[in-house]
Structure 1
Amino acid sequence: AVPECVVDTRLRFQSHQRRNPDSMGGAGSPRSTCGTSRSSGHRPVSALVTRITANPIRATTGGWTPEQLGENMSSSCLLHSLAPVSLNDVPLPSSHSCPSPEAACQQIPSEYSATCVQSHSFTPTAVNSPLSTLLRIRPADFDYLKVIGKGSFGKVLLARHKESGQYYAVKVLQKKMVLKKKEQRHIMAERSVLLKNLQHPFLVGLHYSFQTTDKLYFVLDYVNGGELFCHLQRERVFLEPRARFYAAEIASALGYLHSLHIVYRDLKPENILLDSQGHIMLTDFGLCKEGLEPNGTTSTFCGTPEYLAPEVLQKQAYDCTVDWWCLGAVLYEMLYGLPPFYSRNTAEMYNNILHKVLVLKPNVSNAGRELLEGLLQKDHTQRLGAQGDFMELKCHAFFSPINWDDLMARKVPPPFIPSVVGPTDLRHFDPEFTHLPVTGSLCSHDSAMATNSMREAAAAFPGFSYGPSAGHAFV
């Protein structure tokens, strides 16, 4: 049986015509939070996910061919989370030194240590915020100030809680649209991951999820420093120290997810946000795979074309090493300006990923090139991280300047701080979104004249609503 095929893609564009709007399924009228323009008259796709669900593809003996993959895609959209996690100060143990690369091979555990994660645990804002005293939250409990994102399923809004005055990103999805596109499984998957009360400094945090008859609400931490993609698009490339800082924070977040048996599967610059202090936050957990035990594998074809690992393209069983391939692709893009193996022709790009030799120009240090070679190893059994997961990366020479204890405590000064003067500073969001009207239906009560279709939608998401202080889901 051919597994379900789900691909997230963003038809992005830089001044050298990096993206072709017709090359990967046709994105329609793309938007961007970056506010940049295309020479062709189009604008880059928005900060909201474009989820491309492929039609069933007949498998060949060697898996799908690049041509088959490129010809069988039709598009639909799914909203992103636009939110980081805020942290309380927690004392951390003192720094310790890494073993030498030679000794590391003898000391790397089989998986990222859960004990290590616990020693660096953080308490999400949701636990201690005034909101956590409420067992049930309603749309009318918020003032909805601005639209900061839009997709085919709904909107993301900057909202202020009326009682506490705190700001949140509230993602509002139309149930009928989610059901029409048959995306409820991915919505519930994102909720399930967020419900784990992720305690890591570089992962988005969930405060509440709740629902009305016709809408789903995610109440998330709010971040307004912009997508890493937008900053990279403006600057084209990052200097190596800046790229190292972001890669280290991303790697620690991925390692933490792996320790919880979660594979992220959709790492890309659009899913990496910057907070107002310059730290990264991973968002959008809709494509995560939960419950992947050590040495376990999965086979669903999902991700984003530029960052798909060879084993995913070949329809092989894969494990958490797909995330390390994606990290290598993102690091390569930060240092060189384009993803590795990139082509405007999707089929050609897939063929490059499968067969083309990695080319590394000498403007990157030896340690940087060595790390990229390890992460972008086509044989996932030989890929950096295949044996010791995050610990292998942590002890790599490229990260030798990083004090990991300080990094986890957010004490390492970010190399870049976004220009943000307060929570209502929306300069990093596209005016095309922020100029949209905020509709009154967001906080209205359910209609007493509910239709049969509305009743069906209301029953399609059992257990969606959640309040941290209650300790469990309700309704």
Structure 2
Amino acid sequence: MVDEFVRNSDPEQLYSSTKTSMSSDTTSLSHCTSFSRLSFEFPTSSPEQTVALKPHRSSDSSFQVFRCSTNLNFRDFSLVRQIGSGDIGRVYLCRLRGAETEGRRLYAMKVVDNEVLAMKKKTQRAETERKIMRMLDHPFLPTLYAEFDASHFSCVVMEYCSGGDLHSLRHKQPQKRFSLSSARFYAAEVLVALEYLHMLGIIYRDLKPENVLVRSDGHIMLTDFDLSLCSDAIPAVESPDFSPDPDYSPRASRSLTPFSCISNRLFRSKKIQTIASNRLFVAEPVSARSCSFVGTHEYVAPEVASGRSHGNAVDWWAFGVFIYEMIYGRTPFAGVSNEATLRSIAKGPLSFPDHAPCGASEVHARDLISGLLNKDPNRRLGSKRGAADVKTHPFFKGLNFALIRSVTPPGVAGIKRQKTSPSRQQTAPFGIF
């Protein structure tokens, strides 16, 4: 049955990536140590326990349906249509068979051919993504509902995002770029998702608009973790004046507002009130290292483009490229070929459009992008304290990150669009995993 669907379904590109990731899997890891004076660790659990424990999904009826179901298999789902494809598998829109109410809910199912994975030597990449998805429990990251095997296929059921991806949505905007306010909103939600991943010791390594999906409610979901690097991180609370590097002075430290979602009235002790208002939450895998050549050409960091080892700072470089593209409708270092793009990333200067910034918000945006696109990973904004430093940049002033899920998403053109827009130059055949 799976073979029939994989052979005959017509592809739609809502879930397929229009820029493809390159990879060369030679990785070395070192454990991360925290710089903080006060640290804490989360209890560990088995993969099975992790799948079952999703606190932020406790009130989600869709998740409850899967929790109450045991031994799910391919026959428990009906496939509606194909919504994405790649060189090692396909993504289908599906429904869970059963009660009429449940049958109306839509999910996304990734169907991957294990024999093709083995032939292309990408089995480890698929295992890495499944391992990460079992760990995730966050509003801006996918929820793993079920996973099972059917013949030599592996199936993963997750959330379905009907709003498309930010790459296709950007192409629907006036001048193919988002307004500053919309770009700020999407950047903030991606930043929160990156912070959570880094807290788990996961370096994403494939941030790009194609991998930022939009749910029906307008909020985002970061997807595709096959290129991610798993390491260790120790979440910690630091004093804002405590720096792991005495020469490190982030430009974003001008206005620290940690724990802004928590009112001091919740703390009875004056001492605790003082501590809560003068601490930063830090969760950054600063010691993880890899020699893999992975990413999308327009988004890879200079250290990757130059063939050097890299760590967590590559995500903050990609975040800078992401914001630049959202605001200006193009990436800052794109060349006429992949080789030209990599040379520009490694050696070329950062430049902005010739027009003068139209207000303080764009001035702050350019300052933030400049800090994130520092070619020296040791001086790059976010490389030492991650999101704790990036969040405090003036570009995000007045934004309560802890309550961003309650903010009304921007109304952007094409939010219901089902097809992706024209692709950029590809780097390699795209794989769903």
Return the alpha-carbon distance in structure 1 between the equivalents of residues 314 and 16 of structure 2: 25
Shift of the alpha carbon at 1:355? Answer: 1.0
**Is 1:171 matched with 2:110?**
yes
Letter in 2 for 1:428: Q
Question: 1:295 aligned to 2:269?
Answer: no
Task: Show the counterpart of 2:218.
Answer: 278
Secondary structure at the aligned position of 2:84 is classed as strand
1:298-319 Cα shifts (integer Å, max 9, x gaps): 2211111000000112222222
Q: 1:49 to 1:324 in 2, by over 3 A?
A: same
Report the TM-score when normalising by structure 2. Answer: 0.70
Match of 2:348 in 1: 356
> Aligned pair 1:345/2:280, yes or no?
no
Distance 1:109 1:229, change over 3 A: farther
Counterparts of 1:112 and 1:282 in 2: how far apart (Å)?
27
Give distance in 2, aligned partners of 1:291 and 1:395: 26
Q: Distance in 1 between matches of 2:172 and 2:39?
A: 35
> Residues 363-384 of structure 1: CA distance to partner in whole angstroms, max 9, x if unpaired?
3622111100000000011111
In structure 2, stretches of 5+ residues that fail to align are 1-10, 27-34, 43-53, 234-284, 422-433
Distance 1:55 1:429, change over 3 A: same
Matched, 1:416 2:411: yes
Structure 1 segment 393-404 matched on structure 2, within 5 A = 393-404=390-401
Q: Counterpart amino acid of 2:369?
A: L
- Partners of 2:56 and 2:185 in 1: how far apart? 20
The aligned residue for residue 378 of structure 2 is 381
Does structure 2 conserve the Cα–Cα contact (< 8 Å) formed by 1:324 and 1:385?
A: yes
Partner secondary structure for residue 90 of structure 2: strand
What is the aligned partner in structure 2 of residue 234 from structure 1? 172
Identify the residue that residue 429 of structure 2 maps to in structure 1: none
Given the superposition, is the C-alpha separation of residues 148 and 203 from structure 1 closer, same or farther in structure 2, using an over 3 Å criterion?
same
Counterpart for residue 128 of structure 2: 189
Q: Tell me the secondary structure at the aligned position of residue 251 of structure 1.
A: helix
Structure 1 residue 48, shift from structure 2 partner: 6.8
Query: How much has 1:53 moved relative to structure 2?
Result: 5.1
What is aligned with 2:140? Answer: 202
Q: Once the two structures are superposed, what CA deviation does each residue of 1:108-145 show, in whole Å capped at 9, x if it has no partner?
A: 96999979xxxx97237489421111221110001111
Aligned letter for 1:308? V
What is residue 314 of structure 2 aligned with on the other side?
Answer: 322
Give unpaired runs (5+ residues) of structure 1. Answer: 1-30, 35-44, 57-107, 421-425, 432-475
- Do the aligned partners of residues 417 and 204 (structure 1) sit closer, same or farther apart at CA in structure 2, a change above 3 Å counting? farther
Choose the corresponding residue for 2:151, options 213, 226, 243. 213
CA distance in 2, matches of 1:399, 1:110: 27
CA contact (8 A) 1:126 1:207 kept: no
8 Å CA contact retained: 1:267, 1:326 = yes
Aligned residue among 148, 167, 184 for 2:83: 148
Q: Which amino acid aligns with 2:89?
A: G
Higher alpha-carbon deviation: 270-279 or 47-56? 47-56
What's 2:367 paired with?
A: 370
Secondary structure in structure 2 of the residue aligned to 1:353:
helix
1:109 to 1:360, Cα distance in 2 relative to 1, 3 A: farther
| SS in structure 2 of the partner of residue 202 of structure 1 | coil
| Residue 192 of structure 2 is aligned to residue 252 of structure 1 | yes
Counterpart residue number, 1:469 = none
Per-residue deviation, 1:388: 1.4
Q: 1:48 to 1:132 in 2, by over 3 A?
A: farther
Deviations 1:58-87 (A, max 9, x none): xxxxxxxxxxxxxxxxxxxxxxxxxxxxxx
Larger RCO, structure (CA 8 Å, separation 6 or more): 2
Pair 49,376 (structure 1): closer, same or farther in 2 beyond 3 Å: closer
2:227 and 2:76 map into 1 onto residues whose CA distance is: 30
Give deviations 1:160-202, integer Å, cap 9, x for gaps: 1012323210111122222221111111010010011x12111
Alignment-derived partner of residue 13 in structure 2: 33
Distance across 2 between alignment mates of 1:344 and 1:430: 22
> Deviations for 1:402-461, whole angstroms, at most 9, x for unmatched residues?
121220xx11111126767xxxxx851469xxxxxxxxxxxxxxxxxxxxxxxxxxxxxx
Matched, 1:336 2:328: yes
Q: In the alignment, what sits opposite 1:160?
A: 95
Q: Which amino acid aligns with 2:300?
A: L
Conserved 8 A contact 2:286-2:384: no
Q: Which residue of 1 aligns with 2:387?
A: 390
Superposition RMSD on alpha carbons, in Å?
Answer: 2.9
Identity across matched positions, percent: 34
CA distance in 2, matches of 1:370, 1:343: 23
Residue aligned with 2:56, SS: coil
Q: Which residues in structure 2 correspond to 1:256-271 (within 5 Å)? A: 256-271=196-211
Secondary structure at the aligned position of 2:317 is classed as helix
Equivalent residue letter for 1:122: H
Distance 1:350 1:264 in 2: 20
The CA distance in 1 between the partners of 2:322 and 2:82, in whole Å, is 28
